[in-house]
């Protein structure tokens, strides 16, 4: 993730840094640490081969570790008068026996980041300063050991064998049968393959397609889902008080936002490039996310590949629902026009 501001030190620091902010209950590590230590992860990963949708801005500063999620915090720059007013309010809170909100939020944040480190996530900070605010982007990366552990815990489906993915549908078959030109058809490049899959098991890793390429074995959607699971289940206080998860921290304004990154630009390059060399985001924008594509079939396989199954099935249902509303809308327009034309002959009962 590119930034025009200053970059502070990475979070690659010993966990002893956060010793004062350990769990306040008996919560254990989010991941099986014995497995994370003993997993076969010898030697550096091969990061030399990158897919065409990779963007340097979606990597840590070392250019190797991929950014799977970003946490955002903001801090206002106060003038001297504003700072004095704020200090006075803090003193009044302390005198009234209330806990300082800023101190509490800072404590929650450090606990939360500590638990993310215990889960195996790697972190790096980008700090961007403006005239009024200091914005901190905490970039998260899930290493291979964390990915395989949570992929099995979450029962991810992994590919065993690829086979062609047919793109025909019932409406195109009906139009072809009556030799009617299909104005809704379009040729979308880089059609995703379909796979025979089964639940992921790390003990059967060598049986899955692409297991040799650790960087790209899990899709970006799967990587984001794993990190999101860790963020949603990490504690920042006591479980019995439901002090769990990034959503609660965002509602408390400890963090301002949490999101995964898109993969590369969405606009086509100004110079000519072949359709097959477009990244996934550019394909979706060119063949789906434009007004000119309103009358075309949705590239549901591409949507599923980029956004995941839940978003894919949502747009599949939306397209199906909209298509079946068309006949009713045609009838409604005919009835409306008939009513307009015959309004002069209408005799009230």
Note down pLDDT in tens along the chain; length 349 residues.
444 444 444 333 333 333 333 333 333 344 444 444 444 444 443 333 334 445 777 899 998 899 999 999 998 877 777 777 776 776 766 666 666 778 888 999 999 999 999 999 999 999 998 888 899 999 999 999 999 999 999 999 999 988 876 666 778 888 888 888 888 888 899 888 888 999 999 999 999 999 999 988 999 999 999 999 999 999 998 888 889 999 999 999 999 999 999 888 888 888 888 888 888 999 999 999 999 898 899 999 999 999 988 999 999 999 999 989 999 999 999 999 998 988 878 777 6
Question: How far is the C-alpha of 306 from the C-alpha of 224, rounded, in Å?
Answer: 11
The pLDDT value recorded for residue 277 is 87
Question: How far is the C-alpha of 160 from the C-alpha of 307, rounded, in Å?
Answer: 21
- Contact present, 58 and 1 (Cβ < 8 Å): yes
Helix 280-287 vs helix 300-307: crossing angle, to nearest 10 = 140
Counting beta carbons within 10 angstroms of the beta carbon of residue 151, is it exposed (0 to 12), middle (13 to 18) or buried (19 or more)? buried
The pLDDT value recorded for residue 127 is 92
Question: How far is the C-alpha of 228 from the C-alpha of 236, rounded, in Å?
Answer: 15
The pLDDT value recorded for residue 94 is 66
Structure tokens at 26: 């008996």
The pLDDT value recorded for residue 93 is 65
DSSP state of 197: E
């Amino acid at each position: 993730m590119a930034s025009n501001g200053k970059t502070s030190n990475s979070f690659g620091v010993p966990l002893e840094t956060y010793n004062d902010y350990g769990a306040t209950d008996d919560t254990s590590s989010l991941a099986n640490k014995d497995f994370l230590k003993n997993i076969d992860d010898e030697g550096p990963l091969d990061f030399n081969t990158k897919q065409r949708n990779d963007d340097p801005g979606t990597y840590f500063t070392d250019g190797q570790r991929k950014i799977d999620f970003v946490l955002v915090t903001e801090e206002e720059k106060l003038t001297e008068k504003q700072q004095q007013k704020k200090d006075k309010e803090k003193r009044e809170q302390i005198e009234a026996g209330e806990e300082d909100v800023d101190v509490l939020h800072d404590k929650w944040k450090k606990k939360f980041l500590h638990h993310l480190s215990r889960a195996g996530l790697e972190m790096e900070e980008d700090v961007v300063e403006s005239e009024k605010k200091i914005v901190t982007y905490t970039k998260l990366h899930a290493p291979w050991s964390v990915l395989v552990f949570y992929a099995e815990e979450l029962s991810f489906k992994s590919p065993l064998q690829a086979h062609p993915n047919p793109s025909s549908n019932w409406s195109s078959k009906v139009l072809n049968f009556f030799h009617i030109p299909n104005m809704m058809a379009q040729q979308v490049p880089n059609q995703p393959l379909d796979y025979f899959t089964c639940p992921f098991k790390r003990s059967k890793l060598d049986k899955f397609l692409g297991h040799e390429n650790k960087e790209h074995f899990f899709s970006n959607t799967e990587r984001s889902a794993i990190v999101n699971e860790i963020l949603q289940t990490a504690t920042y206080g006591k479980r019995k008080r439901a002090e769990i998860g990034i959503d609660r921290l965002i509602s408390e304004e400890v963090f301002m936002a949490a999101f995964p990154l898109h993969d590369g630009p969405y606009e086509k390059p100004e110079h000519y490039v072949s359709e097959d060399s477009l990244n996934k985001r550019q394909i979706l924008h060119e063949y789906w996310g434009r007004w000119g594509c309103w009358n075309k079939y949705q590239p549901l396989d591409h949507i599923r590949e980029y956004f995941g199954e839940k978003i894919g099935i949502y747009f599949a249902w939306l397209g199906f629902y909209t298509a079946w509303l068309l006949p009713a809308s045609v009838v409604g327009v005919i009835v409306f026009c008939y009513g307009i034309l015959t309004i002069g002959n209408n005799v009230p009962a």
